[in-house]
Structure 1
Amino acid sequence: MNAKTVLPAVGMTAVSMVLTLAVVMMWLGTAMPWPVALVVGLGIDGGWLATLAYERRLAAQGDHSTPVTVVGWSFGAIATGVLIAHALTAEASTGAWLAVAWLPIAAKALWLVHGLWERTALTGEALDAIQGIQQEARDEAAVARARLRAEATTEETRLTAVTQAGARVARVQARTADTLSKAWSTLETARAGEDTGRALTSVTTRVTPGVTPRWELPVWGPTEPVTAFALETAPALTDGELDRLVDQIRHSETPALSYREMATRFRAAGHSASEVRLRAAWKRMVA
């Protein structure tokens, strides 16, 4: 990854420096001796290269210098200005020269991107750890989604089964009620009929002479509720009383009774306490 960011920056910097030197030689070569134009071009490229080298050394040390950065961008701006001035004063190929005038600024931007990558780069071990954490999170999320979908499907199936069972029960109850209604209607018709009583009397007279039977068929009608027995509720035992009873029953035999045996004798003696309180009292006494 280091080569992917540094090689474009190095290549664009080299092209920019060659273009700057060539433009200075062509532009100033007509107005001054070519050795002077060469010195000017090399001065621009040399200053740019020196500031760039200094910036890279500071970056390798984890440091940064704002003045050096400003000087480096200044050399890049000078090179860009030289290329733009040459393009505007050239009699031919003005568009072509303007098209390459941005290369010095682009080279500086690429070095900036490379520096940002160096400050945020991670080792292979750290990247593998991050990928493992992300994969683990994705796996957990997928498992949670699958569990929720399965629970929703199970609940839907259960509700459907309960609903269908309830519907079947309702249909059976309706049919049973209809059958009972018809049966009681038939019985009521038989009980109220005049011929039914005479027929039954003629049959039983030979069996029980002198006795006139009274035929009463069951009547389907309202019923009177049975009065519930009034039960006296025993007062609840306090924790201290419960502890004393548990300890007394537990040590009523030797060796001491188990919890199951103690609970059986406790309730057989007519005492009342919830299972939670009784077990808590047992634990307190055993402790």
Structure 2
Amino acid sequence: MNAKATKTVLPAVAMTAVSMVLTLAVVVMWLGASVPWPVALVVGLGIDGGWLATLAYERRLAAQGDHNRAVTAVGWCFGLLAAGVLVAHALTAESSAGAWLAVAWLPIAAKALWLVHSLWERTALTPGALGAIRGIQQEARDEAAVARAQLRAEAVTEETRLTAVTAAGARVAHVQAQTAQRLSRAWSTLKTARDGEETGAALTSVTAPVTPGVTPRWELPVWGPTEPIPALPEATTPGLTDEALDALVDEIRYSEAPPLSYREMAARFRAAGHSASEVRLRAAWKRVAA
């Protein structure tokens, strides 16, 4: 019997011994006045012996992992009989009735302690099993702690990411607002310059030496959704020399009176299937116009 089992069995043994001694003493004192004392002693020993025999048989069955309700009932009957003897003696005693009633519950308490001890034996585990259980519980606690730490780390990471994204979005919105404000001021400046009274004279003075005979037109740039410009068709004719390009530009420009503007000439040039880069075409225009 290990130390833990001793903690439950020793109180039961002590209380059983005290109950048996009290029962024997009460029977001898109670019956000693009416019958010879050896007879009273036999009666007391019979009650204690029956109780002790049933208790021993119960312990034997418990050691085998068995249980018998009849034996248990007989044991409780002996315990109740001993308690009844103590109660009856206390009620009929002329003195110290309260003291005898105070100890009358000891037989029932002894049976209850043996019941507690039997329940402990049924649920007791070996040190190896207890160690395995502690290991499983510790492993579960470790896994739970790791899971909590991982969740906290993921939460902190997500919070940091959201903070960074929010800050970046705020910076982008701030830059966009500044850009829109600058574009608005530039547009206002362009519109003011276009609607000014001296804009036409200034444009004429600038463009007249380059494109004589062409009335300058200044249109504001488009600010908003635009349509993509279709790609230029591939050239179907071989590249033109500068002389041939100048001749074509001169022919198209002076095909009508007054002479066509550069844009009209360029549109007709390309509509006729000719190909030339914008730089070469504008250089030919300048040579012809000069």
- Normalising by the smaller structure, the TM-score range is 0.7 to 0.9
> Which residue matches 1:261?
none
Question: Of residues 10, 14, 23 in structure 2, which corresponds to 1:7?
Answer: 10
- Assess, with a 3 A threshold, how the Cα gap between structure 1 residues 164 and 192 changes in structure 2: closer, same or farther: same
> Which residue matches 1:282?
none
Aligned residues: 228
- Assess, with a 3 A threshold, how the Cα gap between structure 1 residues 71 and 203 changes in structure 2: closer, same or farther: closer
Question: Of residues 45, 48, 53 in structure 2, which corresponds to 1:45?
Answer: 48
Pair 1:199-2:202 in alignment: yes
Question: Of residues 125, 129, 133 in structure 1, which corresponds to 2:128?
Answer: 125
Q: Residues 34-57 of structure 1, C-alpha deviation per residue, up to 9 Å, x if partnerless?
A: 111111111111111111111111
After superposition, where does 1:1-287 map in structure 2 within 5 Å?
1-202=4-205, 205=208, 207-208=209-210, 210-211=212-213, 214-226=216-228
Quote the offset at 1:16 in angstroms: 0.3
Quote the offset at 1:204 in angstroms: 5.4
Q: Give secondary structure in 1 for the equivalent of 2:222.
A: coil
Distance in 2 (CA, whole Å) between partners of 1:132 and 1:124 is 12
Say whether the 8 Å CA contact 1:21–1:41 is kept in structure 2.
yes
Distance in 2 (CA, whole Å) between partners of 1:27 and 1:47 is 19
Quote the offset at 1:217 in angstroms: 4.6
Quote the offset at 1:178 in angstroms: 1.0
- Assess, with a 3 A threshold, how the Cα gap between structure 1 residues 19 and 209 changes in structure 2: closer, same or farther: closer
The letter of the residue matching 2:52 is L
Identity score, percent: 74
The letter of the residue matching 2:40 is A
Distance in 2 (CA, whole Å) between partners of 1:190 and 1:227 is 28
Say whether the 8 Å CA contact 2:79–2:108 is kept in structure 1.
yes
Distance in 1 (CA, whole Å) between partners of 2:207 and 2:112 is 123
Higher Cα Rg: structure 1 or 2?
Answer: 2
Give the alignment's Cα RMSD to 1 decimal: 2.1
> Which residue matches 1:259?
none
Distance in 2 (CA, whole Å) between partners of 1:173 and 1:223 is 17
Q: Residues 38-87 of structure 1, C-alpha deviation per residue, up to 9 Å, x if partnerless?
A: 11111111111111111111211222222221111111111000000011
Distance in 2 (CA, whole Å) between partners of 1:44 and 1:226 is 115
Distance in 2 (CA, whole Å) between partners of 1:38 and 1:14 is 16
- Assess, with a 3 A threshold, how the Cα gap between structure 1 residues 209 and 7 changes in structure 2: closer, same or farther: closer
Q: Give secondary structure in 1 for the equivalent of 2:198.
A: helix
Q: Residues 108-136 of structure 1, C-alpha deviation per residue, up to 9 Å, x if partnerless?
A: 11111111111221100000000100110
- Assess, with a 3 A threshold, how the Cα gap between structure 1 residues 124 and 174 changes in structure 2: closer, same or farther: same
Distance in 2 (CA, whole Å) between partners of 1:67 and 1:219 is 110
Q: Give secondary structure in 2 for the equivalent of 1:117.
A: helix
Say whether the 8 Å CA contact 1:190–1:196 is kept in structure 2.
yes
Distance in 2 (CA, whole Å) between partners of 1:222 and 1:82 is 111
Quote the offset at 1:213 in angstroms: 5.6
Say whether the 8 Å CA contact 2:207–2:216 is kept in structure 1.
no
TM-score (normalizing by structure 2): 0.73
Say whether the 8 Å CA contact 2:203–2:216 is kept in structure 1.
no
Distance in 2 (CA, whole Å) between partners of 1:221 and 1:167 is 24
Q: Residues 14-37 of structure 1, C-alpha deviation per residue, up to 9 Å, x if partnerless?
A: 000011111112211122221111
Distance in 2 (CA, whole Å) between partners of 1:181 and 1:223 is 16
Quote the offset at 1:228 in angstroms: 8.4
